Amino acid sequence: MKNRECSIVRDILPLYVENVISDDTKQFVDEHLSHCAECKNELKLSQTDIPVKKNCSEKDGGVEVIKKIGLDIKKKRVFTGILSAVISAIVIMLSFAYLTAPEYIPYTESFDIISVKDNNGCVTLSFTGEYEIYQSEQGVYDISIYNTIWNKLFNIEKKQDITVNPNGETVNTIYYVSNGGQDDKVIYGRDPIDNGGVVTLPRLFLNSYFVTAILFALVLAMLVVIFRKKEEKVKAIIVEILFIPISYIVSHIMIKGWNATSYSATRDFYLILLLVIPIYSLFYILYKKEHSKFRH
């Protein structure tokens, strides 16, 4: 009889502790506890804070898991955002390079777009299109006129008037440079060369930079192999430096292909350097992402 009563009381104890039983049931439990030491001990155990601590621990653990998941989602969003921004920058720069690439107008077509006027020693050129002009030597000027895909797409015609010598400098000769293997033609003054013609050749300095970047990349790649099983920090630094010449090589290929000659080498060089920044950022981000995944 006592064991049966004890079983009933022990089933009720959780409700008794929470004080969610009727007064009659509470009185029944109180009477039983007054003469049953075993059930009284069971009551003391049920009133300890061990389950509470466990529940708190489980709750805290759940919160930490949720926080970790939220942090991972945030990191992925930031990573995706940065990656998208870098790729967008590369696409925009390549689009700009393509749309603004000079399409030089040959001399045979220049008669309709350029005219020369001499007003008391001030030489004015009137033409339609974009232009490049520079002084090759004292009193001798070279001018090239070109169009771009951008101007063609939007039907932009730039009619321009430029004074070659605004400060009264001496102008002996002005050459029209076609930049396509054709002879340069004199459009003002006298031709200083009596026999033969002048041909402006494409510039070659991009080739030296391209080759230097390849050699530098090869040297750094060898160092990575040497340090692959020794100093992890040193290897990581070398890899990050290696991305610089690799970025330059990739940028050069994107802008010029495998060709290293250019009639607008200065423009191309600056575009290559500008494109190196997002390309290096792309390599660096992907490397850090993969390196972090490998460590974990």
Please, which residues bridge with residue 115 across strands? 126
Give pTM, 2 decimals. 0.72
CA 8 vs. chain centroid, Å, equals 72
Query: What is the pLDDT at residue 39?
Result: 85
Question: Quick check: 63 pLDDT over 70?
Answer: no
**Pairing relationship of beta strands 103-104 and 140-147 according to DSSP bridges:** antiparallel
Question: Quick check: 102 pLDDT over 90?
Answer: yes
Q: Which of 89-98, 110-119, 161-170, 190-199 has the lowest mean pLDDT?
A: 190-199
The ranges assigned to domains in the chain are: 2-48, 103-189, 203-295
Question: Quick check: 52 pLDDT over 80?
Answer: no
Q: Which of 12-26, 148-162, 173-187 has the lowest mean pLDDT?
A: 12-26
Token pair for 149: 């895909």
Q: What are 245-281's pLDDT values in tens digits?
A: 999 999 999 999 998 899 999 999 999 999 999 999 9
Kindly report the CA angle at 39 between 38 and 40, in degrees rounded to 5? 90
Alpha carbon dihedral 26, 28, 34, 38, in 10-degree steps, equals -90
- pLDDT greater at residue 64 or residue 117: 117
Residue 48's pLDDT band (boundaries 50, 70, 90)?
Answer: low
Question: Quick check: 128 pLDDT over 50?
Answer: yes
Rounded mean pLDDT, 186-202? 79
Residue 199's pLDDT band (boundaries 50, 70, 90)?
Answer: confident
Q: What are 135-175's pLDDT values in tens digits?
A: 988 999 999 999 999 999 999 888 999 999 988 899 999 99
Question: Quick check: 222 pLDDT over 60?
Answer: yes
Distance between start and end Cα atoms, the chain: 62
Q: Do 198 and 167 form a contact (C-beta atoms < 8 A)?
A: no
The string of DSSP codes covering 250-291 is: HHHHHHHTT---BTTHHHHHHHHHHHHHHHHHHHHHHHHHHH
160/143 Cα distance (integer angstroms): 13
**Pairing relationship of beta strands 173-176 and 140-147 according to DSSP bridges:** parallel
- pLDDT greater at residue 146 or residue 191: 146
77/199 Cα distance (integer angstroms): 55
Q: What is the mean pLDDT of the chain?
A: 86
The one-character DSSP state at 155 is T
Question: Quick check: 86 pLDDT over 60?
Answer: yes
Query: What is the pLDDT at residue 233?
Result: 83
Q: What are phi and psi of 171, to 5 degrees?
A: -120, 110
Unique residue bearing structure tokens 């009596």: 194
Query: What is the pLDDT at residue 53?
Result: 47
The SS3 call for residue 126 is strand
Question: Quick check: 294 pLDDT over 60?
Answer: no
Residue 57's pLDDT band (boundaries 50, 70, 90)?
Answer: low
Token pair for 33: 């506890």
Count of positions (residues) in the chain: 296
Instruction: Using alpha carbons, select from 18, 72, 80 the residue that is nearest to residue 43.
Output: 18
